[in-house]
Amino acid sequence: MATFGDTLFLLAAFAVLLVLVGIFAWKPVTKIMADRQDKIDSDLDYADSKRQEAQKMADQREAELKSSKEDAVKIVTSAKENGEKQRATLVEQAQGEVATLKANAAKDIEQQRADALAAAKNDVADLSLAIAEKLIAKELDPNAQQHLIDQYINELGDANGSH
């Protein structure tokens, strides 16, 4: 068994050892642990800030992608509208040209008909005059000739229903 003196010596040695450990070991170990905790905290903060930054960049890319899609839709819609406007304009121009061509063709046909009718009237008048001269066997004066021609033409026009 240990004596009181040995116990006292052991307690004193233990107390000195605790003070020495506290001075030489505890402070450096706690400083190392605090430094390690600070490094871990700063690494976690850095990782969190990088994660947030990456999320912001992903959100920004997503917004830009959405914006590009909207712009593409607007461009396509605008191109379709412009195409429809151009098509409508071209159709309208073509219809106008067709109407003009029809009107010109109708005028040409009417003019050719009038020319043909006038030529036929002149031929009929000449033939009528020749027949009348042969039948009458005499030459009529120019006024009488013109009167006979006009009368014959009027009678032909009445018979055809054109007057």
pLDDT of residue 138: 52
Confidence band for 151, pLDDT divided at 50, 70 and 90: confident
pLDDT of residue 49: 95
Task: Locate 96 and state its tokens.
Answer: 């106008």
pLDDT tops 70 at residue 160: no
Residue 157 in contact with residue 163, Cβ under 8 Å?
Answer: yes
Neighbours of 124 (CB within 10 A): 14
Length of the chain: 163
Confidence band for 25, pLDDT divided at 50, 70 and 90: confident
pLDDT tops 60 at residue 137: no
- The one-letter amino acid code at 70 reads E
Task: Locate 59 and state its tokens.
Answer: 């959100």
Residue 107's alpha-carbon distances to 102, 110, 135, in angstroms, are 8, 5, 41
pLDDT tops 70 at residue 144: yes
pTM, entire model: 0.40
Task: Locate 106 and state its tokens.
Answer: 């109708």
pLDDT tops 60 at residue 163: no
